[in-house]
Chain A
């Protein structure tokens, strides 16, 4: 599980081009959107593709993403439960 969280943090930084941020800067419970990491709706779409590509989880409504991407912890829990690859 902690491996998955580490992996997610790395992917978020890489995929969203967060040059100034390192894995250590993201706590498991930090909010990814809004006041936390400051991600926005375009990032949410990027993360939806990541879920599909890397974990075989397909979301059809971008609104679903908002809950799943609340924090790395929530994301990891969701992936653990729903992943098909």
Chain B
């Protein structure tokens, strides 16, 4: 059970960069991508900050060379850009050579178009093409089309903010069980009025830069992004002499079963998810070198997750940080964004800082890593916690 699954390619587009090198550059230089929202016309503009990809839809259409009659939602366009980079990075040329599938996570799906044309759909023919791009599976299907993946296992997971982490988990299990040889895993979510106003009603949006694990945190910044990783079986890696970037070593999912949106005070779900992931990885807590925390900067999440980390690691919590201060909370994509950041951390032996942190929380003495730090890393643990009590942990490692 403890053998890892090889990661051979990565692709990402987020508020801090349009590809993997740009994201890495921003991470090590402390450049955050949090601004006012530009691409959505919302009355909340002056009350919130977001992590936005600054390309307009027209610019994305041009980048992807899509015909004018295309019905791509913004989620789908972001997804395809990241998926293509991941495939190129994995140097995949012959798609038919191995049994290849896709598992993607999304929560917004095509909601950006639906909210734009909701009533127009009933009468305006030109917009009706987007009706079929509303459902959550659509962006995944678009990736398959663009990459030429046919007659395959292509599916979508939606477990709110843990969706992409769960996609990685399922992908790794499909490879381990021999069901697939190669699988693209990750997630995508664009910003939308739906999520902006939804989180606003929960009163957990910050009106300024989000400050994970800070005593005076005011809430989260929403973000948009897509990120995908290519997982391949040992056989494919061997036959094709693939360069392995890192391994998916362990994973676990559990439900907090406490409240629809809030996490339990003691982080039961997150604790269970981390325990399971450590077990699958066959690692002791002391063997984890860095934790990329979920750390959304809401009062509830950071307290609950912090307590869960303490329950697992006790006195010996390794360096931890949340990268949400860079990207905002990219919802269903977050698990894949942070998977890539975890792999980058392993590759470069570096811990990314938890930006904007000033004051330790009064409930415990844990303090995140606030400066960029060089450290030899063998393993990174990444948490993703979501609505519906959905808690996931994925562990990445340098060695199989």
Contacts and interface: CB of A to CB of B under 8 A. Distances in A.
Q: A contacts B directly in the complex (CB < 8 Å)? A: yes
Interface of A: 40-42, 45, 48-49, 61-62
B125 to A, nearest CB: 37
Interface SS of chain B: helix, strand, loop or mixed? loop
A49 B42 CA distance: 19
A53 B390 CA distance: 33
A62 B203 contact: yes
Interface string B195-206: 000000111000
A49 B201 contact: yes
Nearest to A48: B203
Contacts of A48: 203
B63 interface: no
B262 interface: yes
A45 B202 CA distance: 7
Contacts, number: 12
Contacts of B202: 45
B262 A41 contact: yes
A45 B262 contact: no
A41, A49, A61 — which one has the most chain B CB atoms within 10 A of its CB?
A41
A19 B57 CA distance: 45
B2 interface: no
Contacts of B203: 45, 48, 61-62
12 contacts: A40-B259, A41-B259, A41-B262, A42-B260, A42-B261, A45-B201, A45-B202, A45-B203, A48-B203, A49-B201, A61-B203, A62-B203
B150 to A, nearest CB: 44
Nearest to A63: B299
B46 to A, nearest CB: 14
A45 B203 CA distance: 8
A85 B203 CA distance: 23
B217 to A, nearest CB: 13
Contacts of A42: 260-261
Nearest to B203: A62
Contacts of A61: 203
A8 to B, nearest CB: 21
Interface in B276-308: none
A70 to B, nearest CB: 19
B137 to A, nearest CB: 29
Report the 8 A-B pairs with minimum CB-CB distance, sorted nearest first: A62-B203, A45-B201, A45-B203, A45-B202, A41-B262, A42-B260, A42-B261, A49-B201
A61 B203 CA distance: 8
Contacts of B201: 45, 49
B393 to A, nearest CB: 26
Nearest to B262: A41
Contacts of A49: 201
A82 to B, nearest CB: 19
Nearest to A59: B203
A42 B202 CA distance: 8
A6 B262 CA distance: 32
Contacts of B259: 40-41
Nearest to A49: B201
Contacts of B262: 41
Interface in B240-264: 259-262
B304 to A, nearest CB: 14
A49 B260 CA distance: 19
Interface string B258-273: 0111100000000000
A48 B203 CA distance: 10
A17 to B, nearest CB: 15
A40 B260 CA distance: 11
Interface string B17-57: 00000000000000000000000000000000000000000
A69 to B, nearest CB: 14
B330 to A, nearest CB: 24
Nearest to A65: B203
Nearest to B261: A42
Contacts of B261: 42
